[in-house]
Structure 1
Amino acid sequence: MQQIEKEEEIFNDDKLIEIIQKIIVGVNGFVDLKQYIGTNKPSFGLIQNHFEKVLEQGNTQLFQQNIQKILEGLIQNNVQRVFIRVLFQYLKQNQDQLNLKQFQDSGIAKIWKNLQFQELNEFIILFQLQDQITEQDLLNHYLDLVQQKKFDDAFLLYQNLKLPKNYFYNLVDQMGNNKDAGKAADFIKKLNYDPENYPKIVERLEKSCIRYLSKEYSWFQCEEKLLYNQSLLVYYCEDAYYHNYKKEALSIIKRNNLLNQIKKENQKEYIKQDFQEGFEEIPNVLFVKDEFKPTEEFVNNENGVYLLCSDFGYQENQIFVVDKVDQNYFDAWKCIHSSKAVGYDCENVTPWTKLDYQGFKVCLVQIATQNHVFLFDFQRLQNHQEFKDDIRKLLENFEIPKIGLSLKDDLKHTVNHLKLKNIIVRSVIELSNCFKMLEKDPKLKSLAYITEFYFKKKLSKYETCSNWEYRPLRKAQIHYAALDAIASLHVYLKMNEINNQIIEEEKDVLQMGQ
C-alpha cells in the first residue's frame, strides 16, 4: 500500500509537467529535468504519460520545430537516458505525422556519437540517416569508444554490428587491468567465447582471487583449498613469497613440487637459492593434526565452545562415507528409507572466477537419521542409476520429512546435477521458516544461529569453504559435514516438541526437474 501511495504522490506532482513544458516550449529546463529524475526516479511510463499530456496542450507544432534542439539539450546536459527513450518512443509512434526527414540537412547527424547503440540504431532509422552514418563510421566509432574506455557502449556496438572477433580481442586487451577484468569476463561469458583465448583476463581474475583468499584465510587453509588447482596454487605461492611469507611459500612449493611451475623468473632464482641453503619446512596443521571434531579445537585451542556430533549421541563409527554402490550403500539406503525423518544437507564448491566454466559442483550429500549419518560422495555416485533412483524415492516420499536450512537450494542442486526430471519433492521442512513462525522472529536466521539458540553452543563453520573435492576427506571435514545434517534433524525434533502443529503446517511440496 505504501508503494502505491508513493507512486500516486509522484504521479500527481505537477513539477514534472512544468519541467517538460519548459523543455518543449522554451528548450530549457534540462538541468531541472536531470535533478528531478535523479531525485524522484520516475518510471518510463510516468514520464511518457506527462510528456504526452504536455503535447496535448497544443504544443505539438512547437515540439516539432524544436526536436533537434531538445535532443541536443538532453545530450549536452547528460540527462538520464530514460527521457531519450521516451522521446524516441513518441517519435516512433508518431513518425507518420512528424516530418523527421527535414532534419537531415540541419546537422542533426552530428550528435550520433553521443548516443548509446540502441538509441543510435533508432536515431538512424527515425531520421533516415543511413547515407550519412555509414558502416565505416560506426566501425571507427567502435574503435574510438574502446580508446576512450567506454567499454559498455563499445561492447553493445560490437554485438550489434557483428564485427569480426579481432575487434573483440582489441576491446578485451584494453580492459586487461584489475579494474575492468571482471567486466571483460562478463562480456566473454555473454558471447560464450572460450576463456583460453583471453589468458590476460584469466590471469587477472585468478590473481584477484588469490588476493581475496590471502586476505580471508590462513596460509594452510589456502594450500588445502587450492590442492586441485595448480595454477592458482602457484600464484598463491608467488604472492606469499613476495609479501615475505617465505617459509610458508617454500613449504607449499616443496610439498607440492611446484618449483618448475613458478612463472616469475627472478623469484624462481631466489627460491632456488633458498632451497639450496635449506629451510625448516612448516607442516600444514589441517593434515598433521586432523581430528574428528570441530577444526577450531585443534587449530585455535577453542575447546568446549562448539557443538560435537557426540553431543547428539553420534559417535565416529556411526558416520559413514559412501562412495560406491556396494553392500554398505544398500544398507545405508535401507536405513534412510525406513526413517521417520532425515536431516539433509549438501557440500559444494563454487567457481574460482567468472571464467571458471566448470562452475558450481555438488561434492557431498549428507543425510542424517536418528542413529546414523551417511555422507554420499556425489562426484563418484552421480552417474549411477541406483543413486538417482534412491534420491528420487527419498525426495518423493511423503512419509519422510526432509529437513534443512536453505533446503530448497540444496534439493534443487541435487536434482539438477543428477538430471532428474518431473520430480515432486514432498514433506520439505525449511528450518528458517519454522523458526520464524515458532519464535515470532521476523528475520530469517542461519542454521548456526538457530542451533545455538536451542543448544547453547556454537556450530563450527570453519570448514564451510574447505576443499570438498579433496579425497580422502579429512576427519574434521567429515565431522563438519555430518554435524550440519545432524543439527538440522535435531533442531526439527526440538521444534516438534515445542509446537508440533506449527511444524506440520510448514511442510512444503516442491516441483523440480522440469
Structure 2
Amino acid sequence: MQQQVEEEEEVFYDEEFILILQKVIIECDGYDELKNYISINKPSFNLIKTQFQKVLNQNNKENFEQNLQKIFEQLLQKNIQRVFIRVLFQYLKENKDQMNLKKLQNSGIAKNWKNLQVQELQEFIELFELKDQITEKNLLQHFQDLVNKKKFQDAFQFYKALQLPQQCFDNLIDQMGNNQDAGRAADFIIKQDFNPANYPKIVERLEKSCTRYLYQEYSWFKCEEMLMFSQSLLVYYCEDAYFHDMKREALSIIKRNNLINQIQKPNLKEQMEKDLEVGFEEIPNILFLKDEFKPVEEFINNEIGVYLHCKDFGYSENHIIFIDKIDQNYNDAWKCINSSNAIGYDCEHITPWTKLDYQGFKVCLVQIATSNHAFLFDYQKLKEFQQFKNDMQQLLENVEILKIGLSLKDDLKHTVNYLKLNNIIIRSIIELSTCFKVLEGDPKLRSLAYISEFYFKKKLSKYDTCSNWEYRPLRKAQIHYAALDAIASLQIFQIMKEKNNNIIEQEKDVLTIG
C-alpha cells in the first residue's frame, strides 16, 4: 500500500504536469497535453487541486485572473476531463471575494453555460452572478431542447439541479410514455416521490409490459390465477392473449371474472361480445378444477414419482395446519413450536408487478415446520394482532430454538419489517446454503431445490413459487408447496447434523434488526 502511494505521489509531482499547468495558466496553451496527461495518469481531484494551487502560488495568480475566461472556454471546447473543471470551480469558490468574478458578467462568459454539465451549471451561475443573463426562460427552453432530443437523463438532472417547475417534470414523463422509456420514467417518479396515479400513461405501459412477459413465461391458467387481484393487469393479459391466437382462453378468463366491461377499445369489446354469444364453451382453469394436496406437476403434467411430497417425510394433509385467527388451533400450534429445539422456517410473499405498483411487497404466509407438524400462519389476517407479534418475537429471539431455512435472513427481515417489530435480535439462525457449501465442499451457494434433490433424489416442486398467495382459500397444492419448503428445510438440517454436527454448530448465526 505504501509503495502504491509513493508511486502515485511520484507521478503527481512529475515535472511534466507542472509545466503543462504553467502553460495552461500563463500562455493559455497546452490543453491537448493536459487532456492526455489526465487520461493516462488519472490524478485525483485533491492531487490536481494541490498542484494547481502550487503553480498559482508561483506568482501566476495575476496571469490566471487575466486569462480566466479564455482558460475556461478552452477547457470546455477541448472537452478536458470534468475533474479539472471541478478543481477550477472549487478554487474560484474559495477565492471569489478576492477575484471580483462579477466583472466577467459583460465579457460574454455567460454564453458558455449550455456546454456545462448539469451539476456544474448552478455553481457557474452563482460564481459569476449570471442570473440576470441566464434567465428562467433560457433554462426552460434548454430543458425542452434536452427533452426534444430525447436526452431524458440529462433533462431530469437539469430539472432537479435547477429546481424547475413541476410542469417541466410532467412534460418530461409525458414524452417518455413509450415502452422503451417507461421504466426510466418510473425511476424518475420514484426518485421524486410523486404519486404514480398522476402518471397513468406510464403505469399502463409498465402493466402492459408486465403482462407480455407473463404471457411468454407462464401458462394461461397460471396467469389467470396470479392476476386475480389485479383487474387491470388481467384485462391487459386477456387482450394480449386474444391477439396471439388464444381467443378461447382469453374469453374464458373474461367470462369467468366478469371483465367484458373493462375492455377499453370499443372495436375489441364488440368483437369479444360477439365471440361470447350463445354457443361459447368456457375452458375451466385446471388449477382449480383438479386441485389436490400434492405437487401441481403431477396433476397437470402427469409427472408421477418425480417430486417430493410432504408424506415422504411422514406429514399427511392432516399434519398441515392453516391458521388465520387466534383460537385453540393457534394456541396449540405455539405450544408445539415452543417445545421444539429446531424449526423449518419459510415465507411466501408477493412482490410488486411493476415499479409503480401501489401495493408493494407483501408477506402473505409464514410456514413453521416442527418434527411432526407444519403450521401456516396467514399474515394478512394475523399481522394486526399483538399476541401474534409477541409470539413471533419470542420465537425469533429464543436462543434455544434453531431457526432453519434457505435465504433465511431475507425471510426473517421480511417478517420483522412487515410486523413492525422494533430492536430485535434474532438468535440461532441456520442458513442451509452456507452449511451445504461448507459440509459438501460445494463452491456455490445452492438453492433449496438443488439441496433437496441432492439429499432426497427427488425434485422439489417450484411451480407455485409465483402463485397468488393473497387468494383465499389457498389451493391444496399451494398449501402442500408452502408446507413442504419448511418441512424440507428441517429434514435437510437433520441430515446435515448427523453428518457433522460440529460444522452446523459453527454456522449458527445472529441477526440484529432495528
CA contact (8 A) 2:122 2:162 kept: no
> After the TM superposition, which of the residue ranges 434-443 and 359-368 deviates more from structure 2?
434-443
> After the TM superposition, which of the residue ranges 257-266 and 433-442 deviates more from structure 2?
433-442
- Amino acid in the other structure paired with 2:94: Q
Aligned counterpart, 2:328: 327
CA contact (8 A) 1:349 1:361 kept: yes
Aligned counterpart, 1:187: 188
Structure 2 CA distance for partners of 1:498 and 1:111, relative to 1, 3 Å: same
Aligned-pair CA distance for 1:271: 0.9
Q: Deviations over 1:150-187 (max 9, x none)?
A: 32333334334444433332222111111221222222
Structure 2 CA distance for partners of 1:154 and 1:339, relative to 1, 3 Å: same
Aligned-pair CA distance for 1:229: 0.7
Question: What stretches of structure 2 of length at least 5 have no aligned partner?
Answer: none
> After the TM superposition, which of the residue ranges 99-108 and 207-216 deviates more from structure 2?
99-108
Within a 5 Å distance, the mapping from 1:47-86 to structure 2 comes to: 47-50=45-48, 52-53=50-51, 56-57=54-55, 58=58, 64=65, 66-76=67-77, 78=79, 81-86=82-87
Aligned counterpart, 1:284: 285
Structure 2 CA distance for partners of 1:211 and 1:82, relative to 1, 3 Å: farther
Aligned counterpart, 1:409: 410
Distance in 1, Cα, partners of 2:79 & 2:125: 20
CA contact (8 A) 2:347 2:365 kept: yes
Superposed CA RMSD in Å reads 2.8
Aligned counterpart, 1:352: 353
Give the secondary structure class of the aligned counterpart of 1:448.
helix
- Amino acid in the other structure paired with 1:391: M
TM-score with structure 1 length normalisation? 0.90
Aligned counterpart, 2:302: 301
Structure 2 CA distance for partners of 1:164 and 1:92, relative to 1, 3 Å: closer
Aligned-pair CA distance for 1:10: 6.7
CA contact (8 A) 1:27 1:69 kept: no
CA contact (8 A) 1:19 1:33 kept: no
Aligned-pair CA distance for 1:485: 0.7
> After the TM superposition, which of the residue ranges 62-71 and 266-275 deviates more from structure 2?
62-71
CA contact (8 A) 1:21 1:54 kept: no
> After the TM superposition, which of the residue ranges 10-19 and 356-365 deviates more from structure 2?
10-19
Aligned-pair CA distance for 1:457: 2.1
- Amino acid in the other structure paired with 1:445: R
Aligned counterpart, 1:245: 246
| Amino-acid identity (%) | 66
Distance in 1, Cα, partners of 2:274 & 2:393: 58
CA contact (8 A) 1:177 1:204 kept: yes
CA contact (8 A) 1:17 1:51 kept: no
- Amino acid in the other structure paired with 1:481: A
Q: Does 1:264 align with 2:265?
A: yes
Aligned-pair CA distance for 1:331: 0.7
TM-score with structure 2 length normalisation? 0.90
Structure 2 CA distance for partners of 1:237 and 1:7, relative to 1, 3 Å: farther
Q: Deviations over 1:213-234 (max 9, x none)?
A: 1122111111111001111100
Number of matched residues? 507
Aligned counterpart, 1:142: 143
- Amino acid in the other structure paired with 2:116: L
Q: Deviations over 1:469-506 (max 9, x none)?
A: 11111111111111111111111111111111111121
CA contact (8 A) 2:12 2:47 kept: no
Distance in 2, Cα, partners of 1:233 & 1:265: 18
Distance in 1, Cα, partners of 2:231 & 2:67: 64
> After the TM superposition, which of the residue ranges 281-290 and 91-100 deviates more from structure 2?
91-100
Give the secondary structure class of the aligned counterpart of 1:467.
coil
Structure 2 CA distance for partners of 1:326 and 1:269, relative to 1, 3 Å: same
Give the secondary structure class of the aligned counterpart of 2:187.
helix
> After the TM superposition, which of the residue ranges 243-252 and 361-370 deviates more from structure 2?
243-252
Aligned counterpart, 1:174: 175
- Amino acid in the other structure paired with 1:132: Q
Give the secondary structure class of the aligned counterpart of 1:305.
coil
Distance in 1, Cα, partners of 2:413 & 2:337: 20
Aligned counterpart, 1:110: 111
Question: What stretches of structure 1 of length at least 5 have no aligned partner?
Answer: none
Give the secondary structure class of the aligned counterpart of 2:264.
coil
